[in-house]
Amino acid sequence: MKKNKLIAKLTIVLFVITLSGCQNNTNTTVTDENKAVEAKNVFVPEFNADSAYKNIERQLAFGPRVPNTTAHKACALWLEASFRRFTPNVIVQQAKLRAFDGTMLDSKNIIASFNPDNTSRVLLCSHWDSRPWADHDPDPANRKKPVPAANDGASGVGVLLEIARQLSLHDPGLGVDIVLFDAEDYGEPQELQGTNEDSWALGSQYWSKNPHIPGYMARFGILLDMVGAEGATFTMEGTSMYYAPDIMRRVWDVADRLGHGSYFSTKKTGGITDDHLYVNQILGIPTIDIIDYDQDREKGFFKYWHTVDDDMKNISKETLRAVGHTVMTVVYESK
């Protein structure tokens, strides 16, 4: 999926990096989440990585899910139908969004809610669209081709669909909203990057300004982005650490307790522009990003980021299980 991660505004990055170590500057809205969470004697369903993997395969079978294409429309219908298998509370939020080049995008944020009357809520999200151009492909001949988006987009959706299935079978005891953001990866191409950071994450910007329920609020949010590659490393990304450090530490502690610490690194990295930035800034919901990102890599992201090789051959069930198991445990332990 991707945002303009190559370098989110330098001033923002430096600001975030500077403040990420100042733990006293955190939002007071996360007071109830600040306490260290010890292992609780609560039932947590088993996350099925095979199911998540198949969910990713199914998305790629439509082709690249670029807004305004037939594949995008067909996949939207499938995602809506898939959620309706698990809950009657499904909303498709449609909007015409203007891309950086003036193109009007037929955007659809797809939202599934569980226990809608429960005021204690948790937000889980990912983006489901594909990048129109493989502008980081090593072969210049591929740079105008769309990205298959197995990891950058479909992986987070695949995990969330499996979590939705489990939520339908086992009541988590609190409200959960799963939001699949659209038009996240239609940001300016590589040659223009840095001129308009807000050209990315259009769907989450729209939803944050127009939530599906007026006045919507959640205790915290977790964004999944690029969570399926083999050997993934999820660092403590700077935007998350600025807005929701306690949530990030809690999730990382759960991952470590469950034996997934090799994926969840405590290394602190710079802030990036992703869907969670706008959820934090506009709605004020403390939201973290579980993302395969390390600023010390050549690209920052996984090897096949924004290339035509972001396909199923690079998806790992072990990585999917580590993320799904961790997130589902956090949800069920939050009631």
Averaged confidence pLDDT in the chain: 90
Within-domain flag for 226: yes
The pLDDT of 84-105, averaged and rounded, is 97
Q: How many CA atoms are closer than 13 Å to the CA of 109, on its beta-carbon side?
A: 25
Exposure class string for 267-281: b at 16+ Cβ within 10 A, else e: ebbbbbbbbbbbbbe
Average the pLDDT over 226-254 and give the result: 98
Residues 201, 97 contacting (CB under 8 angstroms): no
In a domain, 63, yes or no: yes
Of the candidates 66, 90, 93, the one whose C-alpha atom is nearest the C-alpha of residue 210 is 93
Quick check: is 3 in a domain? no
- 304 φ, ψ to 5°? -100, 20
Domain membership of residue 41 (yes or no) is: yes
Domain count, the chain: 1
**Distance in angstroms (rounded) separating the CA atoms of residues 325 and 49:** 9
Structure confidence at residue 248 (pLDDT): 98
2: in domain = no
Residue owning tokens 């980021």: 305
For the domain that residue 33 is a member of, what is the CATH number?
Answer: 3.40.630.10
Nearest to 126 by CA among 83, 93, 161: 161
In a domain, 102, yes or no: yes
Per-residue pLDDT tens over the stretch 256-277: 999 999 999 999 999 999 999 9
Residue 220 lies in a domain: yes
pLDDT given for residue 195 in this prediction: 67
What integer pLDDT is reported at residue 224 of this predicted model?
98
Residue 56 lies inside a defined structural domain of this protein: yes
The candidate with the shortest Cα–Cα distance to 148, out of 236, 64, 273, 41, is 64
pLDDT at 27 over 70: no
| For residue 7, pLDDT beyond 90 | no
Can you read off the two tokens belonging to residue 17? 């990096």
**304 pLDDT higher than 70:** yes
From CA 259, how far away is CA 219, in angstroms rounded?
Answer: 26
Instruction: Give the residue numbers spanning the domain of 282.
Output: 10-332
pTM for the full predicted model: 0.90
pLDDT at 22 over 50: no
CA-based Rg of the chain, rounded to a whole angstrom? 18
Integer Cα distance of 62 and 81 in angstroms: 15
